[in-house]
Structures are given as structure tokens and as C-alpha cells.
Chains A and B, each alone.
Chain A
Amino acid sequence: MGRDTNGEMDAKIKKKKKVKKKEMLEGMKKEMEIDDHELTIEELEMKYSTSTTKGMSSTLAAQVLERDGANELKPPKGTPEYVKFARQLAGGLQCLMWVAAVICFIAFGIQFAQEDLTSYDNLYLAITLIAVVVVTGCFGYYQEFKSTNIIASFKNLVPQKATVFRDGQKSEINANQLVVGDLVEIKGGDRVPADVRIITAQGCKVDNSSLTGESEPQSKGPECTHENPLETRNIAFFSTTCLEGIATGIIINTGDRTIIGRIASLASGVGNEKTPIAIEIEHFVDIIAGLAIFFGATFFVVAMVIGYQFLKAMIFFMAIVVAYVPEGLLATVTVCLSLTAKRLAKKNCVVKNLEAVETLGSTSVICSDKTGTLTQNRMTVSHLWFDNHIHSADTTEDQSGNFDQSSETWRALGRIAGLCNRAVFKPGQEEIPVPKREVIGDASETALLKFTELTIGNVIDYRGRFKKICEVPFNSTNKFQLSIHELEDPLDLRYLLVMKGAPERILERCSTIMIKGQELPLDEQWKEAFQTAYMDLGSLGERVLGFCHIFMNEKEYPRGYNFDTDQMNFPTSGLCFAGLISMIDPPRATVPDAVMKCRTAGIRVIMVTGDHPITAKAIAANVGIISEGSETVEDIATRLRIPVEQVNRGDARACVINGGQLKDMTSDELDDALRAHPEMVFARTSPQQKLIIVESCQRLGSIVAVTGDGVNDSPALKKADIGIAMGIAGSDAAKNAADMILLDDNFASIVTGVEQGRLIFDNLKKSIAYTLTKNIPELTPYLIYITVSVPLPLGCITILFIELATDIFPSVSLAYEKAESDIMHLKPRNPKRDRLVNEALAVYSYFQIGAIQSFAGFTDYFTAMAQEGWLPLLCVGLRSQWENPHNQEVQDSYGQEWTYSQRLYQEYTCYTVFFVSIEICQISDVLIRKTRRLSVFQQGFFRNKVLVTAIVFQLLLGNFLCYCPGMPNIFNFMPIRVQWWFVPVPFGILIFVYDEIRKLGVRRHPGSWWDKELYY
């Protein structure tokens, strides 16, 4: 076996693979280098033979379409259905069973060739083994098929339209018909149809969050601002959304050659890792195979020494090896996993791959994307500063809670926020709660609109009362937005000017400040207060806006005054400052609690985001990824007023690394950083860097879960041991790459997943221990039969009935067992040390409980034989006479003579008696397997109702098999005498008592020899 040293090997091999992957990644990065943003428009026109006024010619476009193919992401090469099915047939246990089936066929072949066919058992066995693999395969396939269907239903099938200029004509065509060089127009609300180099733009803002994770809209314009195509302003990317404004541009990449397409294909290039449970099962198969061959070989030698023919001994060898295969285990494992999958589905986690159910339980690191996963992915007003006080607004999903609204200043501030706002609700949403309504407008205006709708009331109505005279929209040069309104009161003829914008710019234009409804002169003291508040809010990673207003004198500006927005013939300075409002994409309400639970469960939560470091850090602190009191190196430096270099890195628990720094780090440095700082935040990361972070965690021996929703997350989702995608916000690419999908986008569901995963690991251990135990009482009869030549105590068909009928339900019922201790307070299991099946489990099940069961079986067997006239000593060596079909006069211990048929039925009686013994002992076994450490009495005897039902079912089925007429000739079960059911009872009690003693010792003396040898 020598399993432990394999780890090193694995690492070496992985390293080799990694080198290859690195090369691939580097290649991918180079490919991403686009220079189109640095070209002038003329060069661009040349390059793509197009015109920035007329667009392409239709004929050329058709040719290019022919050459490049349709502008759509090729759906990731779905695994063909037959491969998925074949995968179900090729797991570790399945392979074991295939090998066993082949051995059975060989043994059958040998017997057939030798004309030594006493029974067709080997053939039946082979067929059964294959049937079990195929049936469980179908079951598993069906399960996965069902969950894939759930996921598929999310796919958005509405074709997309795009406005394009061709031959100087503006037309609307299907977006997938676009080609490189096409001149397209994008306006607010559109999805960018391809990678577009912007030629002209008016107030165009794009939401890049699905690509980079930035929650702030990016403005786009024709000028090249950065050499990096991802950072520059003159390229808009495929699949991002244009929030507002209008732009025209030339398509420079379509379909899979777009940035997003490349990321998506990067995901499909990342190999799938083996799930931890698959590794565990392989380890377990190793143990089984090792023991089987060891036993088989031993008894092969014994048989040869006794004097059997070589071929006969060979058949014995094969039979023993096959007898070691736990036929029922595959079904048990599959059913247990799918039960948990079902339980998770009820809690909105859909599992695509059954084995992933357990992976979450083993997870030791969660790399979580920020936007949309930890946060709500929508800007929300979080703080207000007025009356020299920071008020916090409710940022939970329903925004129900509120703050002190009695101040006059608030009335002014609210009025400005409501009026100086161009965002409107889409019509027909009166029924929907405000926070969920869709809005036309940019993110911060949306936030303000919703905020005012909730605090003031119907904003549209409100705006109607303050008739808007004119407005100046926001632009990047003056950085403010203003509008002029008539007042609500028809008698008041003044005009109201409201303005919002970058706080420092707003402050510059103010001469007074409103405090508790009073206009006070804006002196240095107030400016200082403003600065402090501004800094405070900024350091929370929030976007801050300043608000001011002025009531214009009706003398100077009488009704009908012609306001000219270009000339600005109205006051734009000397205004009255009302306050600050800051906005953030707030964390989901359930997240901080979930992060806390993950921490108590020993799981490290790392934030990996494309967003800015300050925002990322603020959210991290907010949800508890950076815990209270933890400081980064920079924090310590500021606190101690020393240069960053002098800070002892060990003192900093937290660490924020941005993509730029990450680029310069070697993988060793990254490993060190991950080791040194328990609380990590990665900001401004690219999809490749997410991948590198995941790999680094895996290199440190962690089992990594990645959560994400964007296309940019998909490579990391694929690379992770378990990828978790968001069901509502998640992109198709993310869902395709993930193993698990959270239908409600709730990070807290992950905690449930972890709990269920850990529980199923514990319970699978119990199920396996239960299932393995009976292997020994099934095997020993055969060993005794070979060596001592007694009539066969237990037949092959009977064994199959135990494995595949009576014991399945009890072993599955252990999956319903409650956790023995608070599993969410334990560390995640160490994949190298805490194995699913360890030697202690195998040894305890096989050589202790299994041994007791064997003795029970033999006691009952010899009792049944003796009471029918065959005393134990006569049985020894009786085999050749007993099995001779021509001998009708074999004498028993009392001198009676038996025909072959009478002896055969007696043999069936023995099978049944042995069967009953195993059943009785297995009842005891399933009871002891309820716990591994606690006493069964502490766990509650009848708490697991399913288990109790299973025992009743097992007994009823056993009785049915024994006493149903016709059984003897079909399945070799005989109606046995009632008292033989009770012979094994003392052994059952022994099993129970012995295990209670074992558990007592384990509890009382942790770490002792007893604990080490007997705790599994």
C-alpha cells in the first residue's frame, strides 16, 4: 500500500503539469495583448477596411462572417452523454467490481472447461456484479442529469439585437451576425455586442463587473488612457452592459476571440481535479484489493498444501478475492451521496457532480469573489453626513431600517437627492419592493433614487411637484450635476437650484453650510469637519457625493427667467452645503454570519476580487474576512508612524495584495504570503491571477472552494476542488465551470453545504464500516469449507441477498444519523491524515466485529447441523461425500441415510441459518455504527427513525426470504426453525457490549494505545 509516500509523487507530477499550464497561461496572456486601442482612427479604418462614418460594406461583412464565424461564444464543449455515463461506470469501486466480474467469468470458464460445473454461482455472481455497476451507474447518471437540467433552465435563450451601420445604412441585426470591422452603436441598457473600440461617446458608462468584478461603472470615451487594453477607456468589452449614454465604435474582436471568450476557453482548458471523495475511495479500494489478494494468496497456498489440484486452488483463490468485493457498497455510497445532494437542493444548493457533495465538507479554504457573492452587486446608500454627524443608512437587502430623519437639514438633503437625479424606475413595477425594482440610470443615481423613494416616498410624484426648469448633466470636466426647479408651494416664486457632485468640487462652490436647518457660514472649522467626514467615508471604500442647493431670489430670477445651461446665467457658487451621501455595494446580510461560521469551522475565507483594494478591504472588514483588530502591514505602519519596510510582517494578520503586486510575486512568495497572513484579500486580480491564487492554496495542501459569478471567475471555479457559482447572478460560463450552484446566491448556503459535507463524510465512514464488517462472516464459511471440508455453510446467492437486499437499507439509513459532536466547531479534515477508510476501521470491522459475526454464524450452523443429525465432528471432512450427487446413502451421526437432495436442502438450511446469524449480528452492528466515539445511549437509540425503520425492514425481508413458499428452489432459502434465529443473539449482544467498552475507552483515554488502535 505505502500510501503516505505517494503524496510526494503526486506533488512532483502536479508540478510537471503545472509547468505546462504556466506555459499555456503565459501564451494566453500574450494573446490578450491588443493594440487596437493605441491605433488612430485612420489606422483602424485601414486595418479592418471599414469606415467610421459608413461602416463596412455588406459584401465584405458577409465574407468576414464566413471567415470568422458567428459572433457568439461557442458553448463549452459539453461532455457527450455517453462519456458522462461511462464515467459513472469507471470509479474506483466500479473498477474493483469489473475486475471481480472478469475473475468470476474466468473461474466459470475454468470450471466449464474442466466439466466441473457443480453450480452456476460464478456466472450468476459475475452477472450480478455487472448489473450492480450498471444499475448504480444509471442511478448516478440520472441524478446528475436531473441537476444539469435544473441548471440548463437558467440559460437565456433570447437572441440579442445590435445596431450596426453597413453601407452607410443604420440597421438592427442579430448580434451574432456582427463581424470584425463593423461600426456599431451602443446606448444605455444595451449589452456590448463584441469587443468594441470606441470612436465617439457621449456620457457612456459601462458596467464591467461581469468581467473584472468592479462594481463601479466605467466611463468610456474615444481617447486611449492606458496601454493595458483592460484598463483603457476606449475599449468596451463583449457581454458587459452599457448603463447610460451612447457610443459608436468599431468591432475589433468577435465570438471566442473576445476577451470574455478567451477567459471562457481558459476555463475549459483547466483540468478537473479529482474530488477528495474519489481519492478516498481509491485509497479504500487499495486497502480492499490488498487484503483480498493477501487472503486469496494465503489460502491458495493452504489449498495447495492440503493437496488440491492447481486449478481447483486457483478457483478458490479467485472466489476469495471476489468474496472480498463489497457488492453493496457502491449502491450505498451512491445513495448516501444523492440523499445529501437532495437535502442540499432543498436548501438551494444544486450539485452537478454527486461527489462534490462531500468536497465542501473537506474544504479548508474558500476563495470568494466579492461582487455579487459577498455583496449585493448594487450600489446602496450607506452613510449620510449632515449636521456634522455621520448617519448610517440601512444597507440590508430590504433596506427597511432607518435613521433619524427629524432634522431640517435632512429635508434639504433628501430634496436635493431626489430632485437632482435623472434615474427613473422602469414602468410597471409598483408591486415589486423598492430595492428590487429595475431602474434606468447609473448605479449611484439608482442608489439615490431607491433611497429617496424609501425615505421620502414617491419620488416621481415629488419631482412632479417641483417642476424641473432645466438641468446640467454630469460631465467629467466640471464633475457636478445640477438642476433648477420651481417650488412646491405655488405662492413661493423662488427657484431652487440643486447640485450634487464630487464633494471637494461641491464644497468649493459653497459659502454656507446647513446645520440643523440653520445656514451657517462655512468657516475653516466646518471645512475641517467636512474633510474628516469625507476621509472617514472614503476609507470605508465608499463612493461619496456632496450635495448643495440655493434658493434663488425671485427678484433677480423671476418666473420665466431664461436659464441658459451653456452660459450658466445663474449662481454656481456661494451655495449652501447640505451634506454628504456615500454609497457602497453592501455585503449581503447573511454573509458576516456565514463568514464567522466558516471561521469557527476552521475554514479560511479569502477574498479575491477585481475591485479596488480600498473597497475590497472595506467589504472584507465589514463581513469579517478581516476580523476586528486585525491590521495589515500598512495599517501598522501608519499606526506606529514608521516606514512599511520596518514593520514585522508576522505582526500583520491581514494582508491586502493587489493584482499589480501579485504580478511581481513568484509563486514561492505568494505561498509565503498565504502562510504568513491568515486573513487575505486580493484586489484588482485578473482571471489568470485568480487561478494562480487557487493553485497556490492547493499547493499548500488545502482543499479549495471558489465562489464566483462572473466569467472572470470561471477558470478559478474550474480549477478549484469545488467551484460554486451563483444561480441568479451567475453567468453561464461560471455555472458551466462550477460543481455546485447556489440557487439563491446566498453565501450562507455554503455553510450548510460544509455542514452536510462533513456529516456525509462521517456517516459514509459509518456506512462503509457497517458494510465491510459482514464481508468476513461471508468469507470465513468458504475458508472453512476449503480447509476443513465441511458442507458449505453459506452460498453465493445468499451472500448476494445480504449484500444487495437486506443490508442496503440499514447502511443507507446511517446517512440520516445526526452528527456526534458539533462538526462546525472542528477543523476541516486533513486529507492526508483523516482518511475515509483507515487501517483502524478496516481492522476493527474485519478482524474484530467481523470475527464475532463469523463465530455467531458457525455456532448457528453447527447447531442446525447437529440438531438435524450431523454432529460437528462428523461434518469435518464430510465434503466429498456430502457433495457427491450419486451418493444417496450418506449416513449421519445417528445412522440415518440421506439422499443427495435431502442433503442439499439441509445445506440450504445452513445457508439460511448463517444468513439469519449475519442479519442478527448486523442489527447489532448498525446500532453500534451510529456512533464512533459517543455511547449509543448518548446519541439516542431511536432518534434516527430511518434506521429503526431499516432494522424492521431488514427483519421483515429476512422473514419473507425464509418463509415465503417457493424460496428453497429459487433462492436457496429454507424455512428454518424459529429457535435458530435466537442462537446468534448472544453474539449480537457481545458486539454491542464490546463496542460500548471500546467507545468508553476511547472517550476516557484519548491518545492512549486503546484510542490509537481502536478508534476509526
Chain B
Amino acid sequence: MSGVKEKKSCSQIMDEWKAFMWNPTTHEFMGRTATSWALILLFYIVFYSFLTGLFSLTMWVMLQTLDPYEPTYQDRLSSPGVMIRPQSDSLSIVFTTNNTESWDGYTNALDTFLGSYNDSVQLANNDNCIPDQYFLQDDNGDVRNNPKKSCQFNRTMLENCSGLIDRTYGYAEGKPCVIIKMNRIIGFKPGNDTNPAYVSCTGMNDDSSKVGNIAYYPAGGIFNKMYFPYYGKITQVNYSQPLVAVKFLNLTLNTLINVECKVVASNVATNDDRDKFAGRVYFSLQVSTSQ
């Protein structure tokens, strides 16, 4: 910055720079002799080694205090987020019924997503639990109850939206299925003792009339209590998240309809202004028919 005022010729700057880089009279490289460089480097090596060591030690101590099965705090995870399948960045499902290419992306995505829910897979890995009650597998004091079992969520439970009965998930006939999925949170028990959590979808604002009838699978759109609580990926390896499929039976065609699906439960917050995916999900549907 000072160079602006002090007019120096270019060669002078170069000379100074050269002398700074290598001064042949004092054998100084960038203002220091070899010994000086060696000493200062040694100092910093020792200094930083010590610091890194201290850092590693504190990190190690900190990691020792962690429970490998569940996080120490869940300050940000008081309420689960909700997401749909098929999923895209814009969360809009737009297709034309008789144009297969416009929707087979969606159905393929659903096929892939539901692959792990095939009855055979579920039967092989998971147990058949008692429905309508929380499946508690608490540790007995210090004795770990590991690994923990998971309940079967069979693809067939989604009936018309399972992709088994109708391989196009209703997209071909303009009655698309959308699968609602609730984020996993360790130890979270949605609903209360009497009522399980369930999904309820409505049209946003003016669109409520355009949504038409909706069918929920499993019946009532409930997340059965037996799938909760979640115990973490280490101990509950084969955990299958419960799903709710929503089938739009008579959408108004050729218009963009905004839909909101909420998880209704006493302990699921759905009114967080900042988090649009807290206990709810918004998406848009447009089903067209080419005349």
C-alpha cells in the first residue's frame, strides 16, 4: 500500500526483492540464515506437535464420553421432519397420464425405494411384532439388549400403492400414489398411549376442493406404534421406517394443485414457521391428460 506514494523504479523493487529472497553476503534466505530457519522451523514443529497432541487428547477424551448407541443431546430433534417419495428438489409431481415417459421416473423411484420393504426381505430380517403398542426394548441397566429387533413393515401393507397390484402406482390412470415418510429420531414415540400418529393431507388454500378424495394406506394413514421407538442404526440395524401411502383418487386435472400432508400427533409440531418440513410436507401435483 505504501508503494503508491513512494515512487520506486521497477528494477529497485526487483533488487530489493531479490536481496530479500537470497542475500548472498549474509547467506540469508528471506531474511534468515539456514540455522535461523532450522531453529524456527524446529520450534514450530515442536509447538504444533504439542498443540495437535493436546487437541487429539481432548478429542479422544471427548469421544470416550460419547455413547455409541444414542447421541448425548437431541436439542435440534424435538420433532421429526417429513418427506415424500417420489422426491425431487422442487417437490412437484407433474405428468401426463398417457405419456408413459412423463411418469415412469416417478414409478421407478418408488420401486427402488420400496425394494427394501418387499415382504420377503422383511420376513427374512424383521420380526412380526404386536401392533398398536410401542415396541420397547430397553437395556437392563448396564446390560445391553443388543442387537435390537425391528418390526416388519411389509410392502403389501400399502395395498393399492404397493406397486404390486398396480405396477404404475396409479400414475397411468391419473390417481397417483405419494408415499409419506417421517424422519427417524432415536427414542421418539409419536402419538400417545391411545392415539397413534397419522397422516392427513389437504389442498392448500383454494386447492382444497381440487384435491378430491384421498385414500390412505395402511388404513387411516397411521404410523403404527409398534415401529417406535427407534434405537439407532448400530443396534437396530434392519430398522424399517413405517410409511404411509396417499392415493389421490379424483384430482382436478390439468391444474397445479398444492397439497400439504401433516403428521397428526400430540407430540409432533407442525407449526414451525422456519422449518417447512417439521411434521409436515408441502408438494404440488399436476396431472394432465392429453386430448
Contacts and interface: CB of A to CB of B under 8 A. Distances in A.
B270 to A, nearest CB: 13
A96 B2 CA distance: 11
Contacts of B69: 894
A895 B6 contact: no
B63 interface: yes
Given A851-B48, A862-B62, A892-B71, A898 B1 contact: no
A530 to B, nearest CB: 66
Contact of B59 (A872, A977, A986): A872
Contact of B54 (A2, A96, A855): A855
Interface string B61-84: 011001001111111110011110
Given A6-B2, A895-B184, A899-B277, A909 B62 contact: no
Interface stretch (B39-47, B123-131, B191-199, B242-250): B39-47
Given A855-B54, A868-B73, A888-B277, A894 B6 contact: no
A13 B6 contact: yes
B66 A866 contact: yes
B136 to A, nearest CB: 18
Interface stretch (A201-209, A315-323, A900-908): A900-908
Interface in A315-357: none
A33 B230 CA distance: 104
A906 B1 contact: no
Nearest to A968: B274
B176 to A, nearest CB: 21
A498 interface: no
A897 B2 contact: no
B1 A867 contact: no
B185 interface: yes
A670 interface: no
Given A6-B2, A888-B183, A899-B81, A894 B71 contact: yes
A888 B73 CA distance: 20
Contact of A896 (B39, B82, B185): B185
Contacts of B232: 894-896
Contacts of A886: 89
B166 interface: no
Contacts of A895: 184, 186, 230, 232-234, 236, 239
Interface in A886-939: 886, 888-889, 891-903, 905-906, 909
Contact of A986 (B58, B89, B239, B276): B58
B272 interface: yes
Interface residues of A, number: 57
B142 interface: no
Contacts of B89: 886
A909 to B, nearest CB: 7
A868 B71 contact: yes
Nearest to A975: B75
A9 interface: yes
A397 interface: no
A282 B74 CA distance: 50
Nearest to A283: B2
A310 interface: no
Interface in A858-894: 858-859, 862-863, 866-869, 871-872, 886, 888-889, 891-894
Given A868-B74, A889-B183, A894-B233, A899 B278 contact: yes
A898 B277 contact: no
Contacts of A561: none
A990 interface: yes
Interface residues of B, number: 56
Contacts of A859: 55, 58-59, 62
A867 B54 contact: no
A286 interface: yes
B275 interface: yes
A984 to B, nearest CB: 10
A283 B239 CA distance: 64
A9 B278 contact: no
A325 B183 CA distance: 43
Nearest to A867: B72
Q: Could you say which of A859, A905, A906 has the most chain B C-beta atoms within 10 Å of its C-beta?
A: A859
A408 interface: no
A898 B76 contact: yes
B164 interface: no
B77 A898 contact: yes
Contacts of A868: 71-76
Given A851-B51, A852-B51, A901-B278, A896 B20 contact: no
Contacts of B185: 896-897
Contacts of A901: 272, 274-278
Contacts of A171: none
Contacts of B236: 895
Interface string B3-43: 00011100011001101100000000000000000011001
A873 to B, nearest CB: 10
A869 B234 CA distance: 13
Interface in A84-103: 92, 95-96
B46 to A, nearest CB: 12
A900 B20 CA distance: 51
A894 B70 contact: yes
A5 B16 CA distance: 8
Interface string A938-981: 00000000000000000000000000000001000000010000
Interface of B: 1-2, 6-8, 12-13, 16-17, 19-20, 39-40, 43-44, 47-48, 51, 54-55, 58-59, 62-63, 66, 69-77, 80-83, 89, 181, 183-186, 230, 232-234, 236, 239, 272, 274-278
20 contacts: A2-B20, A9-B8, A286-B1, A855-B55, A862-B62, A869-B77, A886-B89, A888-B183, A894-B70, A895-B236, A895-B239, A896-B77, A897-B80, A898-B77, A898-B183, A899-B277, A900-B275, A902-B77, A905-B76, A1013-B40
